[in-house]
Structure 1
Amino acid sequence: MENYEYKTEEEYEAAMVVIERLMDKGEAQLSSEELETIRTMALSAQAYEKKHYYVEPPRTFQGMIELRMYELKLKQKDLAEKLGVSNAKLSLIMNGKQRPDVPFIKAVHTELDIPADFILQHI
């Protein structure tokens, strides 16, 4: 299968339509050629997105926590429970009104998989 390289937003959008149409058929209904087409087009789309839709990584401890909340589809109350803190404490930390303590920092590192070096540089 040939490699695709999307140079314009129109090409990328057209590819998304093709991928979605094929995926709507259901994996069991796809031929091996169609599965390979999806795989190749999706990898090319990912490369296009990485090049054209770059999102700068968070620059703050709270920003990184918010990013992980978004990625994990967590509401603040769910995040507080996951981190073992009250919603009020989480709110104070996220708004910069309370400094995070060691148990909170450990929970952020282990539960949200935020690298320790990022945490140490940003608290």
Structure 2
Amino acid sequence: MKHISKDSEYQAVMSKIETLMTKGSKNVSKEELDELRELALMAQTYEKSIYVVEPPKTLVGMIEMKMYELRLKQHELAKKLHVSNAKLSLIMNGKQKPDVEFLKAVYKELNVDADFLLQHA
């Protein structure tokens, strides 16, 4: 697989992808479908190298990111962490410090690194 190293190459790949996509899935050959897969992987690799998402720097930020990743609403997260919705709300709004049981639940249920928890709690 070739690699994209600059924006002009990325734009050319995206243009080719768009051309193949407009044909419709029923109108592309096996070769074109294989090419489309390779182009998409090239574009994805380039995008990941350019668009770096900074990791959260706070406990609340980490919990919010995990909520997004797991597609959880706040009341669903509270249930998962075995806390009341009110307690979770207080913690998320900075009005209550997280206790050890809460941090343990975040570690176990959300798979948040223990070192991160110790540094940011």
SS at match of 1:97: coil
- One-letter code aligned to 2:39: M
- Give me the TM-score of the superposition, normalised by structure 2: 0.77
Contact 1:12–1:48, Cα closer than 8 Å, also in 2: no
Name the % identity: 51
Where does structure 2 lack aligned partners over 5 or more consecutive residues?
Answer: none
Aligned to 1:89: 87
Counterpart for residue 57 of structure 1: 55
Q: Distance in 2 between matches of 1:14 and 1:50?
A: 19
Instruction: Note closer, same or farther for the CA distance 1:43–1:77 as it changes in structure 2 (3 Å cut).
Output: same
CA RMSD of aligned residues (A): 2.8
Alignment of 1:1-123 (within 5 A): 2-5=1-4, 7-8=6-7, 10-11=11-12, 13-14=14-15, 17=18, 21=21, 25=25, 31=30, 34-35=33-34, 37-38=36-37, 40-123=38-121
CA positional deviation for 1:67: 0.7
State the 1:42 CA deviation.
3.2
Other structure's SS at 2:118 match: helix
Partner Cα separation in structure 2 for residue 112 and residue 101 of structure 1: 16
Displacement of 1:34: 2.4
In structure 2, relative to structure 1, the CA distance for the partners of 1:42 and 1:116 (3 Å cut) is: farther
Which of the two has higher C-alpha Rg?
A: 2
Unaligned runs of 5+ in 1: none
Letter in 2 for 1:65: I
Alpha-carbon deviation of 1:61?
0.7
4+ runs of 1 displaced by more than 6 Å? Answer: none
